[in-house]
Chain A
């Protein structure tokens, strides 16, 4: 089974802090994704990566950046956290561009 591990289940941060969300997958998947999930809005794509050191913007990249230095690890960075970034953050991976996404259990981030 695919295992996608997100480093934290819950995080509480203050406005203006720099926040790092880490994600690791153990199945040698090519592609990795970061989504946020909000009630009534569904899942929205923040950034994705099809290869090491490669990244592409999703639908809502503003206020975020990413890093993929190793194939198995994809990090999401909130440069200066704001209260409107309070959300559930979901990391996903897929074997290739024709495969389904496999999700981690999410990080619930609260920015106060």
Chain B
């Protein structure tokens, strides 16, 4: 069964304390892996697409990496404004499979 699992469910960091969020997947025929940021009461905002193992993408304090079984979203020196829920999605065939997200809180 195709599945996407994100961990941890929730993460609290001090400002400046770097960490990583995990997205592991079991799908056949991966076409792409996507990271989104979602603020409370809003729709998910697209961050990155990764297509193949070994690929990396960066945007400000965020860096996404991909292996054959999982992806990591590394957050370097986070700020309070990075607080949000981060969603991972995998495309296999024409279907998108979403994880349930990691809720990140960055404390000043």
In the complex, how many residues of chain B place their beta carbon closer than 8 angstroms to a beta carbon of chain A?
A: 20
Contact B31 A98 (CB under 8 A): yes
Contact B32 A98 (CB under 8 A): yes
CB < 8 Å: which of B34, B43, B95 contacts A104? B43
Instruction: Give the tally of cross-chain contacts (CB within 8 A).
Output: 43
**A70: which B residues are within 8 A, CB to CB?**
none
Measured CB to CB, the closest approach of chain A to B55, in angstroms, equals: 14
**B34: which A residues are within 8 A, CB to CB?**
100-101
Contact A41 B46 (CB under 8 A): no
In the complex, how many residues of chain A place their beta carbon closer than 8 angstroms to a beta carbon of chain B?
A: 19
**A42: which B residues are within 8 A, CB to CB?**
87, 98-101
Contact A90 B101 (CB under 8 A): no
Bound-state Cα–Cα, A45 to B97, Å? 9
**A4: which B residues are within 8 A, CB to CB?**
43
**B54: which A residues are within 8 A, CB to CB?**
none
Contact A101 B89 (CB under 8 A): yes
**B36: which A residues are within 8 A, CB to CB?**
103
Bound-state Cα–Cα, A79 to B52, Å? 42
Q: Given contacts A42-B100, A43-B98, A100-B32, are A108 and B46 in contact (CB under 8 A)?
A: no
Can you list 10 pairs linking A and B with CB atoms under 8 Å apart? Answer: A42-B99, A90-B43, A100-B32, A100-B46, A101-B34, A103-B36, A103-B44, A103-B45, A103-B46, A106-B42
